[in-house]
Amino acid sequence: MSHVAVLGAGSWGTAFAKVLADAGRDVLLWARRPAVAEAISTTRTNPDYLPRLRLPAAVRASTDAAEAITGADLVVLAVPAQTLRGNLAEWARHLEPDSTLVSLMKGIELGTTKRMSEVIVETAGVAADRVVVVSGPNLAAEIADEQPAATVVACTDTDRATLVQASVSTPYLRPYTNDDVIGCELGGAVKNVIALAYGMTTAMGLGDNTRATLITRGLAETARLGVALGADPLTFAGLAGLGDLVATCSSPLSRNRTFGEHLGRGETLEQAQTATRQTAEGVKSCLAIRDLSRAHGVEMPITEQVERVCHEGADPRTAMAVLMSRKPRPE
């Protein structure tokens, strides 16, 4: 069996490399920064992202993406959503002819409003049935700690989904296959936006009624967009929908929720960015999701307000008041 390339040695790429190794695969993990590759090779740790994790011997690191991709049957993409297109444009020529491309990213591209699998198909010039999306309630630090969790492996080609499922099945991670790529990707991207709102309400001292309302109405607007784009509404009741939304909103480990807490304390976007280092995808994706919803005539009031707080300087308390004063309607 050939090896797996994991491109991106941040939190999720690193934890996912461990999952693959624990499932019996050899992994070559591409790190952008030489210091990260060096730390993994010499100490088997990635102290900047997951300081407690010791990586298995089957994970090797490199700063050479061509070396990682060449000969790999699975190519896992774990870079920030907004850099994917540029990264893949450089990497695509090294892909093996029938390799499977696995997307771990939870975002929508600014400007194009494309999902990550669409960006992959377009940039790598591969058929859509070669792209597999992995999405679910999978906070990287908890997976790295081997705390039991489940996830979804979505692909329009069921055989390919089953192959990836086998490559990520471990005693602590239970993957389910699904053929609804659109629903799984939207669930992952929009929950980051709702988690920003949840973080704001947490910092504002609001309680469980407010937060349950946010989760439920957040899921309603996610499903509305999903149905307009051709997703199966049932996907949003599953791991890649409700599961991920609940995990992200309720966890202090979530970068999106944490970013929202900074905004809820009255900090500006710049202040929140300075205080947080890792990728909080919802901050940029809220713009793209808002544009996508407007293009399809789908109302997404929470997303609209998160975008206003993040990018138009709106006060989170005013945003909440706007949401509460919307026209009465049936559930």
Please identify, using beta-carbon distances, which residue of 106 and 290 lies nearer to ligand 13P. Answer: 106
258 near ligand NAI, judged by CB under 6 A: no
Catalytic residue among 114, 191, 284, 327: 191
Residues shown for the chain: 331
106 near ligand 13P, judged by CB under 6 A: yes
Q: Which positions from 97 through 156 interact with ligand NAI, judged by CB under 6 A?
A: 104-107, 138-140
138 near ligand 13P, judged by CB under 6 A: yes
CA atoms within 13 A of residue 276's CA, in its CB half-sphere: 24
Please identify, using beta-carbon distances, which residue of 80 and 301 lies nearer to ligand NAI. Answer: 80
Q: Which residues pair with 100 in a beta bridge?
A: 74
Return the structure tokens found at 99. Answer: 């390799």
User: Across the chain, how many H-helices and E-strands are there?
Assistant: 15, 8
191 is catalytic: yes
DSSP annotation of 233: G
DSSP annotation of 135: E
Site pattern 29..58 for ligand NAI (x: CB under 6 A): ---x----------------x---------
- Cβ–Cβ < 8 Å for 102, 13: no
CB of 101 to ligand 13P, least distance (A): 19
Q: Which residue sits closest to ligand NAI, CB atoms considered?
A: 10
Q: H or E segment at 229? A: helix 208-229
- Cβ–Cβ < 8 Å for 82, 107: yes
Q: How far apart are CA 123 and CA 85, in angstroms?
A: 6
Please identify, using beta-carbon distances, which residue of 193 and 300 lies nearer to ligand 13P. Answer: 193
80 near ligand NAI, judged by CB under 6 A: yes
Q: H or E segment at 29? A: strand 27-30
105 near ligand 13P, judged by CB under 6 A: no
User: What amino acid positions are annotated as catalytic residues?
Assistant: 191
Site residues (CB under 6 A) for ligand NAI? 8-13, 32, 49, 78-81, 83, 87, 104-107, 138-140, 278-279, 281
Site residues (CB under 6 A) for ligand 13P? 106, 137-139, 192, 195, 244, 247-248, 254-256
